[in-house]
A and B are shown apart, each in its own frame.
Chain A
Amino acid sequence: MDLFNNLALGFGVAFTLQNLMYAFVGCLLGTLIGVLPGIGPLATIAMLLPATYALPPVAALIMLAGIYYGAQYGGSTTAILVNLPGESSSVVTVIDGYQMARQGRAGPALAAAGLGSFFAGCVGTLILAAFAAPLTELAFKFGPAEYFSLMILGLIGAVVLASGSLLKAVAMIVLGLLMGMVGTDVNSGVARFSFDVAELTDGIGFIVIAMGVFGYGEIISNLSKHESEREVFTASVSGLLPTKEDFKNMIPAVLRGTALGSILGILPGGGAVMAAFAAYTLEKKTKLRPGEMPFGKGNIRGVAAPEAANNAGAQTSFIPLLTLGIPPNAVMALMVGAMTIHNIQPGPQVMTSNPELFWGLIASMWIGNLMLVILNLPLIGIWIKLLSVPYRWLFPSIVLFCAIGVYSTNNTTFDIWMVGIFGFIGYIFIKLGAEPAPLLLGFILGPMMEEYLRRALLLSRGDWSVFVTRPLSASLLAAAAILLAVVLMPSVKAKREEAFVED
């Protein structure tokens, strides 16, 4: 059994005292920061990324995985307790979770989210381990044309998930791709769009964009609202564990959510958000048991299912990253950045060239999940206290952590000037209702897309039909077209807008 041998190898790597500690610290930090209102996993990872620079690669990735799960769970905690989705994937958790909290059932809601996530995480890890190898084989069959088509599919997927206008999301992706063009062209050595600034010949740092647009842009927009609009409501949490009745309702919901999340997570661009929405929709379609709360009024299934789906999706979204080297969403794009910093080029070769790293990471994801449950269930009371920190103390701290994070990436003040510019740009994006997440994805994929397009067309002697005559490439493009068509269908379009209305 290869699967078990591999997992054993992975656990052998991950179960050192040192790595367990990093997983724990990562989880703790991730939860600590992710639980702050308005800071999602993306900003959390961007902020904590520099903390992992000094570590050996395996430890760094393990810690990052811990941060990721911590941040995601932290986001759900804020969603349930104070009606603030810290990230887009916990938008649905808010609906029933906050209602439960208002009825004094925050404990069961938090427990349902935690336990559901843990179960989904376990299943997700197994799926990841089982499918990673065959998918890697497939990845070796990929030529430049296939990679290019896959990236198109990924970008279309990201557009589908962005809230608001589809057209604007596409435009943001293109803008991101263009920003990725800044810097030295690898083929000709020409410094493009660098305006003779020496620092720009290396391109714009992705941390700079992530921090500026997500961190500062978000803070400025928060501060522009009056205090009453962002008032934080602290509910008293009484009774931690769900009742027997709750468990009865919750278990099938968790199973359904896990299944949905695992499938949707694998699709490039799918990821956690779509999984959560789909799972909630599915639960709403199933019949209510006698005596059960209706949805939207505090039904525990409305918390458990999306949270499970969200976590399963988060887990399986590592598959395209680790096997194909293609980030399916903005968070994974940050992970690519982190890997590159540690001299690991994500892609099919990681599994063969670095099996300890690959399987160690998979095992550590499971450990990260376990840490979450251990850490969070008993500590819920503390997270609530953290939420009562006034925003006027919070935001200078966030600004500081962003600035330190940016500076420490390259130890240059140039990045700090850049992040100031991007903070301004990010605020404009928010004012114009243009979502920045697709931009970051485009930015990461830009240089890769250009390179694959160049190679594909070089091999075909300039013949564009290569993208549709190669079966793998053609089916990827077809999938992208179908995805786009489905979203543009009037009925789905209305639903999608309804689902994102909370944003």
Chain B
Amino acid sequence: MNIKSQKDFFSGLMFMVVGVAFAWGASGYTIGNGARMGPGYFPLVLGVLLAVLGAVITFKSMVVETVDGDKVGAFAWKPLIFIIAANLVFGASLGGLPSIGLPPLGLIVGIFALTFIASNAGEEFNFKEVTILACILAVMSYAAFILLLKLQFPVWPAFIKA
């Protein structure tokens, strides 16, 4: 048995796993019956449906010919990791991480951290250019979100303000 469409094969698997997981989770809640649906009824039906759809997609992927095998291709780990990391560090700067004793560092620090980390995801990294970009973004964001729209953000590190 060989796989005719890699993309469909794996998405079918994904749907099956997620469907089964939801259905299994739903079975832990009261199911009830049609006239009196419990909290588990609808998710259980949907979970089973998703698992069945996933099975059909997987089956088709092994039967129906495709031109080039529909390869999933290599994962772009570099952009993936840097973009997600930039986002997480930004969140940590705004909210702080009490679990490791990191105080909130505020919006401006967050913007610089985010810009520098995210820029690593691209093909080239020019320190001067990224610094300028971060400055522009910091000034623009401060003007737009804090001054103009008056959003509630911690702007500066908590220990400076205090």
**Footprint of B on A, CB under 8 Å?**
50-51, 54, 165, 167-168, 170-171, 174-175, 177-178, 181, 185, 187-188, 190, 192-193, 216, 219-221, 223-224, 226-227, 391-393, 395-397, 399-400, 402-404, 407-408, 411-413, 416-417, 419-420, 423-424, 427-428, 431-434, 449-450, 453-454, 457-458, 460-464
Contacts and interface: CB of A to CB of B under 8 A. Distances in A.
A400 B121 contact: no
5 contacts: A185-B39, A400-B111, A403-B91, A420-B91, A450-B37
B53 A171 contact: yes
A179 to B, nearest CB: 9
Interface in B35-82: 35-40, 42-43, 46-47, 49-50, 53-54, 56-57, 60, 70, 72-73, 75-76, 78-80
Nearest to B53: A171
Contact of B118 (A185, A190, A396): A396
Q: Majority SS of interface residues in chain B?
A: helix
Interface of B: 7-8, 10-11, 14-15, 18-19, 22, 25-26, 29-30, 33-40, 42-43, 46-47, 49-50, 53-54, 56-57, 60, 70, 72-73, 75-76, 78-80, 83-84, 86-88, 90-92, 94-95, 111, 114-115, 118-119, 121-124, 129-130, 133-134, 137, 141, 145, 149-153
Max chain A Cβ within 10 angstroms of own Cβ: one of B43, B133, B149, B153: B43
Nearest to A50: B151
In the complex, the 4 A-B pairs of residues with the closest C-beta atoms, listed nearest first: A224-B76, A416-B91, A462-B35, A413-B95
A227 B7 CA distance: 24
Contact of B79 (A185, A220, A458): A220
A101 B110 CA distance: 41
A51 B150 CA distance: 10
B115 A458 contact: no
Given A392-B124, A457-B34, 6 more contacts: A168-B8, A178-B50, A417-B91, A420-B91, A453-B37, A464-B34
A461 B35 contact: yes
B53 to A, nearest CB: 4
Contacts of B83: 216, 219-220, 223, 395, 399, 423
Nearest to B84: A420
A335 to B, nearest CB: 20
Given A216-B84, A399-B118, A178 B123 contact: no
User: Chain B CB within 10 Å — which of A396, A402, A403 has the most?
Assistant: A396
A399 B87 contact: yes
Contacts of B95: 412-413, 416
B119 to A, nearest CB: 5
Nearest to B48: A174
Contacts of A454: 37, 42
Contacts of B76: 220-221, 223-224, 427
A392 B8 CA distance: 32
Per DSSP, are chain A's interface residues mostly helix, strand or loop, or mixed? helix
A187 B114 contact: no
A410 B154 CA distance: 14
A192 B29 contact: yes
A396 B113 CA distance: 11
Nearest to B116: A396
Given A420-B84, A420-B87, A175 B94 contact: no
Nearest to A421: B84
B133 A396 contact: yes
B118 A188 contact: no
A396 B30 CA distance: 46
B30 A408 contact: no
Contacts of B38: 188
A375 B121 CA distance: 35
A181 B42 CA distance: 9
B43 A413 contact: no
A137 B80 CA distance: 50
A224 B79 contact: yes
B80 A192 contact: no
B49 A174 contact: yes
A404 B84 contact: no
A100 B42 CA distance: 52
A417 B88 contact: yes
B39 to A, nearest CB: 4
Contact of B46 (A174, A411, A463): A174
Contact of B87 (A170, A395, A403, A463): A403
B153 A396 contact: no
